Amino acid sequence: MVRYVIRRSTAPAVAALAFALGIGIVGCGAAAEDDPWAAEVRAAQQAATSDFEREVLEDGSVSRAEYEEAMQRYVQCIESEGAQVGLIPTDGYYTYEIDGSVVDVYDAVSDGCRTGNTRFIEPLFVDRLTNPRNESFAKLVAECFIAREVAPAD
Chain centroid to CA 87? 12
Q: How confident is the model at residue 95 (pLDDT cuts 50, 70, 90)?
A: very high
% of residues, the chain, pLDDT over 90: 61
List phi, psi (to 5°) of 87. Answer: -105, 120
pLDDT tens for 36-55 read: 999 999 999 999 999 999 99
pLDDT tens for 114-148 read: 999 999 999 999 999 999 999 998 998 899 999 99
AA letter at 94 = Y
pTM: 0.72
Q: Kindly report the CA angle at 124 between 110 and 73, in degrees rounded to 5?
A: 40
pLDDT at 77 over 60: yes
pLDDT at 3 over 50: no
Across the chain, mean pLDDT equals 82
Q: Kindly report the CA angle at 63 between 61 and 64, in degrees rounded to 5?
A: 150
E strand or H helix at 137: helix 137-147
For residues 67-89, average pLDDT = 94
